[in-house]
Every structure is written in C-alpha cells, then in structure tokens.
Amino acid sequence: MLRWAIIFLIAGLVLGVLGFGGIGGAFVDIAKILFFIAVAIFVVLLVLGLLAGRGIKKAID
C-alpha cells in the first residue's frame, strides 16, 4: 500500500510541475489517504502482534 502511495505522490508532483494542478492535487490527496490507511493498518497489526506475543508467553510460563 505504501508503494501505491509513493506512486500517486510522484505522479501528482509530476502533474503539478507540468501544469495540471487539479489532477495533480487529486493524486496527492489519494497518496495522503493511502499513507494514513497504511499507517493505521501497521499500528493495528503491531498492537495485535504484541498482545498475541504476551498471550503465548503467559501460556509457556
């Protein structure tokens, strides 16, 4: 998902430089949304991984 965010960001910047500000801005907005979705998924999976690790550690001990 971060790959798509970077692709949209680069495309938006190139379009902005070439004078297509409207579509370039839309691409940058899409890149922002994808970036924040990727960060949210990372945080959720990090918390779930930490909780699962504690549960396994308690079961072993």
Residue ranges per domain, the chain? 2-60
pTM value > 0.85: no
Query: Residue 51's pLDDT is what?
Result: 87
Question: In order along the chain (61 residues), what is the average pLDDT of each group of 10 residues?
Answer: 92 94 93 96 94 74 61
DSSP result, 27-61: HHHHHHHHHHHHHHHHHHHHHHHHHHHHHHHHHH-
Query: Residue 20's pLDDT is what?
Result: 92
Closest CA to 1 of 46, 32, 45: 32
